[in-house]
Structure 1
């Protein structure tokens, strides 16, 4: 594995976010397990944030679940409850597979996780997060698994954070905890000069500042949610964007003042 030029070993803990493609199958999740094991070895404390498994058409993908019935359009609250299930299933599956592979971990979700949101169902804003809860959990476990994309309203109801909301979950956790590196795992090598699925000559950009990175997130399908990147920039976090199917180092996104 290539070393990061800006070094990730100085961070006390790491947050790893695995998207739908990474979570899609048991075979793809084996790559997730390898990255998590490496993170625990290098950093000790590791928080894993997951998206729902796969894409539309896959059984537990968010868009698949939302197409169970068109009646969900009559209730934003019910729609959010269904939408949140994809990440809950993914978190439970990965937590179980981690335990099966010998990695003890804590699955944190819902009220016990402590992410409080507005009740704007479908596009809720995070208004509070319990740092004390997270630090207490990290005192007892080296690995915590968290379903992304959701929080709990003051009334105790599940509300989701909008498309790409699992990216935002990882960024908010990073902004709450001290001295954190965030890794986002994708199905591409990192930030590229073009779409590697369409352009054979697209090259990897090994590092770039937020000022350049944010301009790349205005597309219909951004590499990560722009709101998440802006949150990370605001809190001067270092991001590491990597290929889940490789140990190559990918792209480091760093605060401009660095």
Structure 2
């Protein structure tokens, strides 16, 4: 779902969205506390100089406990001498469409994806997508995989407890989407990210709304330079991208008929 620094905000804001910063990966809110005008947002950054066994300074974030379980393709175990900054984000938001709207056919359709990111160019060859946003953002290849809750448990049994603990939901999601982003292009001749894995979990909120959680794990080669803000600049750009993507997706939800 989220391409982080590759995303930019939409040209015009279609709705007012309020940020709700969350201090912990564990969201323990009731379903009634989520609304379509709010974005619940958590992030944690672990510098490459820090031990991957220890929480980052000033937080309880642990790479081994909170981030590494999402490394479904074992990049960390195979990284050799490569070093990364580790960024984990989690977002929860409400879309004004029933969960039946969010199908594999729709979410994998390049035409639908292009509507959610109007400033990006999207191409698909076989099962591989390629996204290009423009100057200042890396080009990315990615793949999508769709699961029911049972299918994800069979494929990645260790994740079942992880999500039950951190989603804070007693129900099972109606759909799970795993997006594997890789082949990040360079920006100004500099490597950007090694990869990111984004896992979106869709829950039926009521007859007309869907609650979505998104977890994204990023291994970053190079942070933006300090003279433009470093990691703070990156987080700000991520938030603009998240807000823009939710804004456009919500617009689609409110203007598209279920039969289309």
TM-score, normalized by length of structure 1? 0.29
Judging by fraction of residues, say which structure has more strand: 2
Q: Structure 1 or 2: larger helix share?
A: 1
User: Which TM-score applies when normalising by structure 2?
Assistant: 0.29
Q: Which has the higher contact order (CA 8 A, sep 6+)?
A: 2
